[in-house]
Structure 1
Amino acid sequence: MGMREDVLVIRRLNDDLRQKGQDGRVLMTQGIQALPQEVIQKVIDAVKAFDDFTPDNDPHGEHDFGSVRIGENAIFWKIDYYDRSMEAGSPDPADPEVTTRVLTIMLADEY
């Protein structure tokens, strides 16, 4: 059974945000911002390069969550879908005209 077309669109849009910083916002929590600059860069690079999606960590196929380890730090990242005003959820995450994507990068213990 093939993946629904809207899921494939959401996946591509999520990958574009995560890998290229396109069409969305990237937020880093205070825990990430408190790390040394060279560690923050390693975190960003690891999030961009992440491709270990499995049915367990990506059950909907949208590439909207992952975890990486940088040294002693367990890092989570997730993508949420908001409406353009950032006041509610997106009515259609597959439509970039009505969606603001937000990639949040956090220490696992901040989740």
Structure 2
Amino acid sequence: MHNTSDITCARQRTERIALLNDAARQGRDRTARIVMTSGLLAELGGDTVEDRMMVHARLMAALRRCTFAPDSPKRDFASMDVDGIKVLMKVDYYDTDLTFGSDDPANPAVTRRVVTLMRPADY
């Protein structure tokens, strides 16, 4: 049996992580990294530097406006469509050296977020 304060604390922790993930996804967390797999970039194409820059811009726009399913309360996983290609977004939590997993994803002082954009085949 869970008591009400434990449930409230868990919900508050989940919402704190979700807000920190939102900040990382939207480019407001200077310690976060946003990476795109080479497979995704190759599939979206681009023969020139300008084309590749536009691919990056479309991916970043999709990342910032993506929506989340109810089964992602931490807003750490989403699926979206970019140029007719299914793109997955995943947030992972690392220690400050980006070596090991974070001990506390709700604490930005000990956590670095890595937001990865990828094709389903890359997952």
| TM-score bucket (shorter structure) | 0.7 to 0.9
In 1, Cα distance between equivalents of 2:101 and 2:113: 10
Write the letter of the residue equivalent to 1:54. A
Greater helix share, structure number: 2
What is the aligned partner in structure 1 of residue 12 from structure 2? 5
What is the aligned partner in structure 2 of residue 94 from structure 1? 106
Identity among equivalent pairs (%): 36
What is the aligned partner in structure 2 of residue 44 from structure 1? 60
Deviation >4 Å, runs of 4+: none
Greater strand share, structure number: 1
What is the aligned partner in structure 1 of residue 39 from structure 2? 31
- SS for the counterpart of 2:107 is coil
TM-score by length of 2: 0.78
Structure 2: runs of 5+ lacking an equivalent:
1-6, 47-51
In 2, Cα distance between equivalents of 1:96 and 1:89: 13
Rg comparison, structure with higher value: 2
TM-score by length of 1: 0.85
- Total equivalences in the alignment: 107
1:2-46 CA-partner distances (Å, limit 9, x unpaired): 662111111110000101252311111102332332233212101
Structure 1: runs of 5+ lacking an equivalent:
none
In 2, Cα distance between equivalents of 1:14 and 1:72: 25
What is the aligned partner in structure 2 of residue 54 from structure 1? 69
In 1, Cα distance between equivalents of 2:107 and 2:90: 19
